[in-house]
Amino acid sequence: MIYENWMSYIKDDVKITEVVIPGAHNAGSYGMKKMAECQKDGVLTQFKYGMRQFCLRLSESKNGEILLAHGITKGDLFENVLKDIKEILENYPTEILLLDIREYQPQKFGPITLKYKADPEKVNELLKKYIDPEKNAYYDFDKIGDVTMGDIRNAGKRFILINEAQSYRFSKPCEQITPWDSKINGMKAENFRIHATDFFDTCHTDGLYWFQTQQTPNPFTEIGITPPVKLDGSMRLYFPEIIRKIANNENYLSQANIIAGDFMTRDYMKSELILNLNLLKNNVKEDLREMYAEGLKWN
């Protein structure tokens, strides 16, 4: 299998916004309480299953430690994620990561707004200590939509540190969209599989297109307050259908970029289906197409 080095098969002239990249929704939520947990395994394991885009949200403990967060739920030390990323940088030189890192966004509950804080200077210190963005981050660009795989490789860089406010040194405010609707993402699986791809008809960007395949538990929706792990159990049955709809629609396929979801390490099914779209988009080096296709087969 090629899940640990699949990017080495992608052509230099393909833009990063054209590559089809498996992403981990709430990548840092592993080990959290049941209603907050969206991934079962840490970032290193997620990487080995093909993930190259990581959604990492931060908060602080009472004693000022930087923690991973999913809303009010706090999880592992951010430092432990950075140790995983450091291991990836040291052992997988062909792979490029999209690290979307920021404080967890404010949440409104009626008249109350909850705000989360993670001291940027503390975050900068940890980033410098473990993954050295000055050395490893690619930031010498104006528009993410112009950046090719070859640009990053030729610069000798390993990741793009995405942060809209440029809160961290060498981070970039990359244009990106994450289409989401409480009604659609709150549908039962059998309805969500029909409407999930509607976003490709209504939402467009020249930047990173972050398409989310997971349902979102919310009050007053079809699924209500249901643990993500239970939702994923039913959604998995329809996941191949969602990817087929993308594969069979020229407009959807052309926009396909980051395809993220929950519990991406249950097996390789989601990654295999997502990464096969690179063949349909002609992103894979011609002499490696057969090896790429064979390497994705896991079952």
Q: Tens of pLDDT along the chain (299 residues)?
A: 999 999 999 999 999 999 999 999 999 999 999 999 999 999 999 999 999 999 999 999 999 999 999 988 999 999 999 999 999 999 999 999 999 999 977 776 667 676 779 999 999 999 999 999 999 999 999 999 999 999 999 999 999 999 999 999 999 999 999 999 999 999 999 999 999 999 999 999 999 999 999 999 988 899 999 999 999 999 999 999 999 999 999 999 999 999 999 999 999 999 999 999 999 999 999 999 999 999 999 98
Nearest to 152 by CA among 166, 161, 164, 140: 140
Task: Answer yes or no: is 141 within a domain.
Answer: yes
Task: Answer yes or no: is 268 within a domain.
Answer: yes
Task: Answer yes or no: is 61 within a domain.
Answer: yes
- Domain total of the chain: 1
Task: Answer yes or no: is 66 within a domain.
Answer: yes
User: Using an 8 Å Cβ cutoff, are 281 and 13 in contact?
Assistant: no
Task: Give rounded-to-5 percent helix, strand, coil for the chain.
Answer: 40, 20, 45
Give the pLDDT confidence score for residue 113 in this predicted structure. Answer: 72
Amino acid found at 35: M
Task: Answer yes or no: is 89 within a domain.
Answer: yes
Task: Answer yes or no: is 238 within a domain.
Answer: yes
Task: Answer yes or no: is 1 within a domain.
Answer: no
Task: Answer yes or no: is 24 within a domain.
Answer: yes
> Would the CA dihedral through 89, 71, 116, 182 be positive or negative?
positive
CATH number at 274 reads 3.20.20.190
Give the pLDDT confidence score for residue 109 in this predicted structure. Answer: 63
Instruction: Please tell me the pTM assigned to this model.
Output: 0.96
Give the pLDDT confidence score for residue 212 in this predicted structure. Answer: 96
Q: What is d(CA 276, CA 268) in angstroms, rounded to the nearest whole number?
A: 12
- Bridge-based pairing state of the strands 208-212 and 97-103: unpaired
Domain housing 172: 6-295
Give the pLDDT confidence score for residue 89 in this predicted structure. Answer: 98
